[in-house]
């Protein structure tokens, strides 16, 4: 698995760690991303919009504040978020432990 650490992702604070589960060949042009993402305490993934794709998060552990197209809501393990094409989202770790989630981008 390819792992990357991205500083200030989408204008967020600190960094985000992305562990790609599948690569481009396995995604077969149908998905843009399938990965485990880690946001450490004090870090965030900045607000961004999706166009021509949707994104789903499945929260595995930790707690956070999810920006659902401008409306904040708390998230925790077991929660699922969905952002359709034309809408936006962001996610901040609000807890003391890593916020870990699966991210899936499906292309329209």
- The dihedrals phi and psi of 45, each to the nearest 5 degrees, come to -105, 115
What is the residue extent of each domain of the chain? Answer: 2-107
Predicted pLDDT at 71? 97
Residue in the block written with tokens 């699922």:
80
The total of other beta-carbon atoms located within 10 Å of residue 96's CB is 9
Q: Tell the CATH topology of 2-107.
A: Jelly Rolls (2.60.120)
Which residues, 6 or more positions from 26, have their beta carbon under 8 angstroms from its beta carbon? none
How far is residue 25 from each of residues 21, 30, 33, 56, 80, measured CA to CA in Å? 12, 10, 11, 21, 26
pLDDT, tens digit only, all 108 positions of the chain: 899 999 999 999 999 999 999 988 899 888 999 999 999 999 999 999 999 999 999 999 999 999 999 999 999 999 999 999 999 999 999 999 999 999 999 999
- In the chain, alpha helices (H): 24-27
- Residue 54 token pair: 């949707």
């Amino acid at each position: 698995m390819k792992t990357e650490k991205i500083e200030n992702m989408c204008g967020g604070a600190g960094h985000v760690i992305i562990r790609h589960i599948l690569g481009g060949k396995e995604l077969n042009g149908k998905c843009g991303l399938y990965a485990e993402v880690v946001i450490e305490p004090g870090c965030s993934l900045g607000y961004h919009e999706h166009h021509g794709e949707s994104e789903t998060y499945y929260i595995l552990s930790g707690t956070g504040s999810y920006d659902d197209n401008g409306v904040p809501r708390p998230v925790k393990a077991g929660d699922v978020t969905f952002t359709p094409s034309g809408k936006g989202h962001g996610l901040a770790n609000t807890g003391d432990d890593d916020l870990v989630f699966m991210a899936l981008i499906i292309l329209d």
